[in-house]
Amino acid sequence: MKDQKRLESHCSIISREPLLEFESRAAQAQLADTDILITGWGSPSIDVAALEAAPSLKLVAHAAGSVKHLIGPAVFERKIEVTNAAAANAIPVAEFALAAILFANKDVLRFQRLYAQQRRPLEMHQSFDGDSGSWHKKVGIVGASRIGRRVLDLLRSHDMDILLFDPLVSIAEARQLGADLVSLPELMEGCQTVSLHAPLLPTTRHMIDAGMLARMRDGATLINTARGGLIDQAALEAELVSGRLSAFLDVTEPETLPETSPLYDLPNVVLTPHIAGAIGNERQRLGRLVVDEIERFVAGKPLQHGLTLESLHHQA
């Protein structure tokens, strides 16, 4: 409510009902008077036709993460400024990934199964021996993206050995991030837990293929809160069905798996419906960032989270 009042103190709200399309006469009448367009998940694409209907548009403020599938070059050609709340959305994703890493290191899924099977106190000296736990456990981070860097920052307070793969990061920068820079094969072979944080680009699609999965240690865990297309889904399914690997999957390819997919019922898989990003009250953080950006824009100040056409290509 406070952020809504802030927004109203700077702008005239044309309508409190969201536009679900830009083609109707009613929608185009609103666009004709729009200087600032606030968008979110599920927003219609801002294509050339939408831009023609919005001759006064000066700012697109996206109250969510990536805008890659929402806008194109035409928006930037019009000199329309673009900002998004990816920085705010990165916070819950990183928290989710950290929780998954800690659960994977602690071998939670195995102990859950064991406890359910035996239904009695587990013998500490027998059941809890081995490599379970986070003490100097090798954790691999694939991609020093915005979220990847936040995960790396969260991991600093834990006694883990972090390996990083990112072709755009130098050895010195990786050390500043608290990680050792390695190749992707080295990371997959050397880590018991691997968390993906790369954007989905033509060069990263299926970067985790059957060969990379085969490099992972028996009993290792793969975590994906990035994009499902980073992994060869068929190859991953084969590994998970065999029981050799475990996984925490917040995204898959396709985004919603078929009803017949075995991943829904595997005991070594935690499958969630793309909830790592902001949900519930976390969405208020996204709205606050967007209102902050609009305040800066109206005051003639530079945007803190502005995007360019070039930076758009590197978004998830």
pLDDT in tens, 238-251: 999 999 999 999 99
The domain tally of the chain equals 2
Whether residue 304 sits in one domain with residue 261: no
Answer with the residue of higher pLDDT: 314 or 74.
Answer: 74
Q: How is the chain classified by DSSP, letter by letter?
A: -HHHHHHHHH---S-SSPPS-S-SHHHHHHHHT-SEEEE-TTPPP--HHHHHH-TT--EEEESSS--TTT--HHHHHTT-EEEE-HHHHHHHHHHHHHHHHHHHHTTHHHHHHHHHHH-SPPPHHHHT-SS-S-TTEEEEEE--SHHHHHHHHHHTTS-EEEEEE-TT--HHHHHHTT-EE--HHHHHHH-SEEEE-----TTTTT-B-HHHHHHSPTT-EEEE-S-GGGB-HHHHHHHHHHTS-EEEES--SSSS--TT-GGGT-TTEEE-SS-SS--GGGHHHHHHHHHHHHHHHHTTPPPSSB--HHHHTT--
> 230: domain CATH number?
3.40.50.720
**Average model confidence (pLDDT) across the chain:** 95
Same domain, 58 and 96: no
Position 313 scores a pLDDT of 73
CA distance 238 to 34: 51
Residues 80 and 95 in one domain: no
* Residues with active-site annotation: 227, 255, 274
> pLDDT by residue (tens digit) across 110-130?
989 988 888 888 776 555 667
What is this structure's pTM?
A: 0.93
Domain of 253 in residue numbering reads as 88-271
Residues of the chain with pLDDT > 70, as a percent, come to 98
pLDDT tier for residue 314 given thresholds of 50, 70 and 90:
confident
Type of residue found at 188: M
Q: Please answer whether residues 36 and 11 qualify as being in contact, where contact means their C-beta atoms are separated by less than 8 angstroms.
A: yes
Residue 127: the pLDDT is: 58
180-203 average pLDDT score: 97
- pLDDT (0 to 100) of residue 126: 58
Give one DSSP letter per residue of 34-100, joined into a string: -SEEEE-TTPPP--HHHHHH-TT--EEEESSS--TTT--HHHHHTT-EEEE-HHHHHHHHHHHHHHH
Residues 33 and 132 in one domain: no
Q: Does residue 227 share a domain with residue 97?
A: yes
99 and 79 both lie in a single domain:
no
Same domain, 202 and 285: no
Q: Cβ(96)–Cβ(68) under 8 Å?
A: no
Shared domain for 44 and 113, answered yes or no, is no
Do residue 235 and residue 288 come from a single domain?
no
Which tens digits make up the pLDDT trace of 243-290?
A: 999 999 999 999 999 999 999 999 999 999 999 999 999 999 999 999
